[in-house]
Amino acid sequence: MKNQKYIFFQSSMIQAILDGRKTQTRRIVKFGNKNITDAQIGFTAFTPKGSFSVRGKHHPSGKFGESFFKIPYSAGEILYVRESWKISGWDWEDGTALYEYKDQAQCWLPAYDPTEDQLWMLNYIEQLENKGIIKFDDDESFSFVKPNPWKPSIHMPKAAARIWLKVKEVRVERLQDICEVDAVAEGVLFDEDTFHTRRYKDYLIGDFPNRFFKHPDGSFKSLWQSINGESSWSLNPWVWVVEFEVLSTTGKPSNLKQ
């Protein structure tokens, strides 16, 4: 299947997906080097397929005009989540590897994906041996003699992805237009007090539940600032709102084609 893309999430948001709390993500709209000020974003009769239209006074000259930019995701696309990972073992007979993730979960998954480099696994094991992290015995068994370091998410092969998502809807809006329902769908952490009233985490303080918000949109604001900087909220950028459903948290679903 060609329409499979990777996507990154912060560790706390990966946990929110695993907990079933997160079904939305917001990503800043990229306008290239254009100065977008006062503009209307959407689609017109002349908008090319796979793009969106920006109309209004969005040029440094102050003139009105229309520009087109590519949509990063579309409904129906399959996304796999790249996260920090490492290999804890492998089985050459059935072509699988034991992948480990930051939440200490482990999954036996294929050693490689047919659409990617099939030699990366051999190179990875060779690197572990050269660095003295693993040691092979005469019977070809191995043992870890040093801690195996984590590999960054950007280098995660598709075969190692345990979390697979399907895009349901994509729309564009200003960051500060988020409503309370959508803030909850963004996966902000919450619990209930003795009166069964929800309280939401303040991601800038971190001392939850002693410090918290009464409403989820305040929690999401603090989450956004913790990732993008405290001044990022006041910029109120255009963002893609990507709604998704979770297809799997234990590896690529068997019904998905390559």
Which tens digit of pLDDT belongs to each residue from 113-126? 888 888 888 888 89
Average pLDDT of the segment spanning 181-198: 86
Is residue 213 very low, low, confident or very high in pLDDT (cuts 50, 70, 90)? Answer: confident
Question: How many residues make up the chain in this entry?
Answer: 258
Q: Tens digit of pLDDT for each residue in 35-84?
A: 555 556 666 656 667 777 776 655 555 556 677 777 888 899 999 999 99
pLDDT band at 222 (very low <50, low <70, confident <90, very high): very high
Flag whether pLDDT at 210 surpasses 70: yes
Residue 171 confidence (pLDDT): 87
pLDDT in tens, 131-187: 999 998 876 778 889 999 999 999 999 999 999 999 999 988 899 999 999 999 999
Where do runs of H (alpha helix) occur along the chain?
Answer: 11-18, 120-130, 180-185, 216-228, 232-235
